Amino acid sequence: MSTYTRTAKILHWGMAALIAALLSLGFVMTGLPLSPDKLQLYAWHKWAGVSVFLLVWLRLLWRLRHPAPPWPAGMPRWQQRAAQLGHIALYGLMFAIPLSGWLLSSAKGVQTVWFGVLPLPDLVAKNKQLGQLLSEVHELLNFTLLALLAIHMGAALKHHWIDRDDTLRRMWR
């Protein structure tokens, strides 16, 4: 069985865990009343989000230099095309979501200081209305990601349990 490289697997599962944590944290923290704890959670969310933004560049470069293993034998053409489009959309969201977060934070006038050490430049000037709009964009992109992840994981499990091919194993072992 030909599999993904070890680096691709580490990036895939490491980023999956980080993104799952960011999604949960994002939805929980926004519902909390204002407090020092809430601000701390926002800071962690932003640090982890910027880390995803940096990691996805590395991941894309790695992916471009190391092609994926071939599709399982007998996989219909439309499924190959759908999987390919889904993967491109997931990469797009892994760039767009952190970028919209960074933009919204800048527009709301709250600079991001990565891990409390490295101040990142604000990408736009403070603008309350723009901040509100970008916050809605960030939320919408996250719901889109949730929907795509459901399809992505559903397809992986279907390949594993129903088609009984190596699709999941080649990213796992």
Residues that bind ligand HEM (CB under 6 A): 19, 22-23, 26-27, 30, 42, 45-46, 49-50, 52-53, 97-98, 101-102, 104-105, 112, 135, 138-139, 142
The secondary structure of 98-138, three-state, reads HHHHHHHHHHCCCCCEECCCEECCCCCCCCHHHHHHHHHHH
Min separation Cβ 66 and ligand HEM, Å: 23
Question: Between 54 and 157, whose beta carbon lies closer to ligand HEM?
Answer: 54
The secondary structure of 14-63, three-state, reads HHHHHHHHHHHHHHHHHCCCCCHHHHHHHHHHHHHHHHHHHHHHHHHHHH
Question: Between 30 and 80, whose beta carbon lies closer to ligand HEM?
Answer: 30
Question: Between 26 and 166, whose beta carbon lies closer to ligand HEM?
Answer: 26
**Chain residue at closest Cβ approach to ligand HEM:** 26
Min separation Cβ 94 and ligand HEM, Å: 6
Q: Which two tokens stand for residue 51?
A: 């880390």
Which residue type does 25 have?
L
Question: Between 67 and 121, whose beta carbon lies closer to ligand HEM?
Answer: 121
Min separation Cβ 153 and ligand HEM, Å: 15
Neighbours of 171 (CB within 10 A): 16
Report how far residue 3's alpha carbon sits from residue 158's, in angstroms, rounded to the nearest whole number: 18
Min separation Cβ 165 and ligand HEM, Å: 29
Question: Between 53 and 62, whose beta carbon lies closer to ligand HEM?
Answer: 53
Which residue type does 125 have?
A
Return the half-sphere exposure (C-beta side, CA atoms, 13 A cut-off) of residue 13: 12
Min separation Cβ 136 and ligand HEM, Å: 8
Query: Phi/psi at 4 (nearest 5 deg)?
Result: -70, 160
